[in-house]
Amino acid sequence: MKTHEKILDAAFIMFAEYGYDGTSLNMISKKAGVSKGAIYHYYSSKEELYLKVIEHYFRNINSAIEKNFETIETIKQFGKELIEDYKTNNYINKFSLDIFFQSMKNENVKKTVLKMYKIGIELIKSSLYKLDNIDPENDLGLLAQKIWMLFDALCIYVSYGINVDFQKLWDEFMDDIFLKYLKKAPHTK
């Protein structure tokens, strides 16, 4: 693993575990097994490193979107798997909440998150245009936003430990959402 990748991985864990405010570059360097100077070789500040970790985090999600948005069923399965990741991976869960809270305090974090959201929504939208059973005459940008928002909301629920059948909620919401956007069968006599 390359040094900058070690730093990103260690920073993700530390930011997830202790939040942005509770994490120091010393903690990250120790976790990564590199010197603090090595961190400064790649990142000019803790904030820049945090922003890069956010981008890395969302790139992983966006990469998974590109691979899994092939049919309505694979989209539904993808959402279930992501929700399960949130339920079982405490780092993902905690880091997501920290991003949420930091974006309310730090304009650079907010801009980075919004930039990554837009990329994710555009990926979903372009994937939806490729589906045979979706009517392209519909506003697929709005559908993409609905899918992103639903996923985001359910992940927040998971993060707060709300006891709900997330898999069932996801399926039912997705069925309701997609119903409106499906191509209509031609009328036969």
CB 92 within 8 A of CB 85: yes
Burial class (CB in 10 A: 0-12, 13-18, 19+), 155: buried
User: Looking at the predicted structure, is the pLDDT value of residue 118 above 90?
Assistant: yes
Given pLDDT bands bounded at 50, 70 and 90, which one contains residue 184? Answer: low
In a domain, 160, yes or no: yes
pLDDT digit string, tens, across residues 122-152: 999 999 988 888 888 889 999 999 999 988 8
Rounded CA-CA distance 182/149 in Å is: 20
* Domain span holding position 153: 51-181
In a domain, 41, yes or no: no
In a domain, 98, yes or no: yes
Work out how many domains the chain is built from and give that number: 1
User: Looking at the predicted structure, is the pLDDT value of residue 189 above 80?
Assistant: no
In a domain, 109, yes or no: yes
Q: Give the CATH number for residue 105.
A: 1.10.357
pLDDT at 72: 87
3-state secondary structure of 131: coil
Q: pTM of this prediction?
A: 0.89
Within 10 angstroms of residue 57's Cβ, the number of other Cβ atoms is 21
In a domain, 22, yes or no: no
Q: Which of 61, 189, 173 is nearest to 117 (CA)?
A: 61
Work out the average pLDDT over 147-166: 85
pLDDT at 185: 55
In a domain, 76, yes or no: yes
